[in-house]
Amino acid sequence: MKRLLSVLVLLTIMVSACNKVVPLKATSLEFIGGDITLMMGQNAKLSLKINYADGSSQYCLFDGSSSDVSLSSRDEAVATVTSAGVVVPVSVGSTIIDAVFEGIQASVNVFVSAPDGEAPLPDPKKTFSSNAVYLNVNNNRGMQVFEMLDDGSIIISVSLGEAQEQYFERILRNGTILPAMHMTRGDHGDSMSVEQGNGKTYIWFSCFSSKWYEGPQLLVRSEFIQGSSYEPESFSDLYYYGNKGQGFVSVDDKHDLLALLNQNQVTVYRLSQAKEAPLKEVKLARKVTNGTNISFSRKAHDLTALRPIASFALSSEEYQGYFNGKLRPMQGFCVYKDRIYFHLGVEDVAVTVLDLYGNYIMRHVKMAVNDDKESLIRYGVLDPQYNFEPEGIQIQNGHVYLGFTPYWNKVLVLEM
């Protein structure tokens, strides 16, 4: 009997969580693989590593042999987690999965998106035709970038060089141009993107131009209101991305993404997390001609306090300047699902597409539509004396759309 008790005691000492044989003290837990992104109907198996005081580690198999590791979801309306370590999406949104073992906790973010197809690519062989025209309309000022809305209309950003003001104009599919939302200060090439939700449309843009302000440029998120006029200082929903120069912004509200291109660095955040980022006081100064600069401060959501879901660097020639002997400056920037898109060029139109790890899917691929000058002129969308200049790239309903200014006062959007 005594021998049997001794054996039982020995077995008790040897058995611990996740099949760890040696009874050592755990020092930390670690989810392997980082944040989890799922589409509805797609489950994921958790991978958890337990680190011990002697430097060893053990992967938890969640095979039911131990109940020492507890798992829970902070929002089971978004995703649940089983005792076997399987994450099951319930609805679109985000939540956090917590694991607890011997009083030690680890957490992992879970993002659930709606199901859709693979992110599309443009057709580089597609030439110009009347059915490729998504929108062809005259306006009184040149387009810098465009964004497509769910109802089929577009919003364009216009910045007049001499006046140094910025306009956001909504253009309907029938060519009707609605009254613009006006910024009293702007800069040529200012960035813009659109977020839609709860029946409202929001504009994300950077208008704290170095021509007008000293200090970090900030992103602005504002409801789009036609016919209104604002100064940059009047906005309160601001976003700080570091003491850097001009940033280009893109929003993919369908997949909860906010992307920034700044100083050759692409950084992608969860849109929902960006809007909840902690506030930081930022100091700025407005430049005044023949006078003293006016200093002021604003509170802005601090994007640098967040953990991005993607971040990679580009060499300047890969998106800006000359490439293979051709001038191809970046003229459009877009994030969609798991890809980053660039529209490049002046006279030579090209597209670059990368995944969120910075791997090339398309690299400076020339678009055949650029060489179809005869058709462009015949259909009246190109001035023979004017550059066929790229202006923006967008993804909508599984299609890629490219924007152009074939005249200084014409808006042209083509389905590619």
The predicted structure's pLDDT at residue 196: 93
Query: Would you state the CATH architecture of domain 130-415?
Result: 7 Propeller (2.130)
CATH number of 2-113: 2.60.40.1080
Q: pLDDT tens, 123-133? A: 888 887 766 78
Whether the per-residue pLDDT at 73 is higher than 50: the answer is yes
Separation between Cα atoms, residue 37 and residue 242, nearest integer Å: 27
Domain extents for the chain? 2-113, 130-415
Separation between Cα atoms, residue 277 and residue 352, nearest integer Å: 31
Instruction: Give me the sign of the Cα torsion angle 352, 350, 211, 164.
Output: negative
Separation between Cα atoms, residue 147 and residue 203, nearest integer Å: 10
Q: pLDDT tens, 155-174? A: 998 876 556 788 899 999 88
Highest mean pLDDT among 63-72, 94-103, 175-184, 382-391 belongs to 175-184
Residue reference for tokens 């902690």? 278
Q: Is 392 left (phi over 0), alpha (psi -120 to 50) or beta?
A: left
Q: pLDDT tens, 342-380? A: 988 876 788 999 999 899 988 888 888 877 777 777 777
